[in-house]
Amino acid sequence: MNYREIVRKSLHIVLSLILLLPFVLTYFKIVFDKAVFYSVLSILTLSFNAIQIKRPLLRSEVKKFMRESREKFFMDIKNFIPVRSQVTSSVLDRIEEKIRGVEDLIDYQLSTVERDYEKRGGYIGLTYGILGVTISYFLFKDYALYGVVSLATTDAVATVVGGLTGTHKLPFTNKTVEGSISGFIVFLTALILMGVPFLNALILSVVAMIVEAYAVEDNLLLPIFVSFLATFMV
């Protein structure tokens, strides 16, 4: 696991803690509308990702605008000052070539930023996580708390530990045995500390471990599965 992935998962944990905020405030008898909080957070996150998705279109528009502006500029110069000598024409060509080089440099810098965003990729996962928690709250109300805790523990710990020390792959997935077991233990410990009976906590932790390892999008499905199961076991 590289430094970027560690930072991304650290951000994942921080945002999971933010998702816990409504429950923490309620615990301290502070009136807080969880439905409004999760709805607003979902809207903001979806809007942010929409901007990121459209960024390549912005880059092509900037490139097109610069090219057309350059061509028009030199056409106007040639119309205003008749180019009769080879020297004058050569100078204008060299100037245009330099400007074209600046355009290519700007385009390269923009494309580098886009590739860097694609490497980070965590924004998409975090968006699914927020949506998963929002759906969990509207379907299962305060049982969504257990879904949020599973995001902050099972998913994050499994990825970090698996990336740093994992050597044994689980079948049919790129997740590791070491990562999954670590996430399982941390979530199980958290549930026991929250007062969940051991057997129930064990079942919830096993389900969370399986969903984290094999779900198509674990950030979306993990909180939903755990919250649903918690309604029967907590």
Per-residue pLDDT tens digits of the chain, which is 234 residues long? 566 666 667 777 788 889 999 999 988 888 889 999 999 999 988 887 777 666 656 566 767 787 888 788 877 777 766 655 555 667 777 888 888 888 787 766 655 544 454 444 446 777 889 999 999 999 999 999 999 999 989 988 888 888 788 788 988 888 899 999 999 999 999 999 999 999 999 999 999 999 999 998 889 999 999 999 999 998
- What was the pLDDT predicted at 114? 47
- What was the pLDDT predicted at 216? 87
Closest C-alpha among 133, 167, 144, 153 to residue 230: 144
Q: Are the beta carbons of 122 and 8 closer than 8 angstroms?
A: yes
Task: Record the pTM.
Answer: 0.71
Burial (CB count <10 Å: 0-12, 13-18, 19+), residue 63: middle
Phi, psi of 169 (to 5 degrees): -80, 140
Q: How many CB atoms lie within 10 A of CB 165?
A: 12
The model's pLDDT over 126-149, given as tens digits with 9 standing for 90+, comes to: 788 999 999 999 999 999 999 999
Q: Are the beta carbons of 173 and 11 closer than 8 angstroms?
A: no
- What was the pLDDT predicted at 172? 85
Is the C-alpha dihedral spanning 73, 75, 80, 82 positive or negative? positive
Residue 49 CA: distances (Å) to CA of 56, 118, 123, 221? 13, 12, 7, 19
- What was the pLDDT predicted at 151? 92
DSSP string, 215-232: -TTHHHHHHHHHHHHHHH
- What was the pLDDT predicted at 102? 80
- What was the pLDDT predicted at 121? 47
- What was the pLDDT predicted at 85? 58
- What was the pLDDT predicted at 117? 46
- What was the pLDDT predicted at 21? 92
Q: Token pair 């860097």 is at which residue? A: 116
- What was the pLDDT predicted at 232? 94
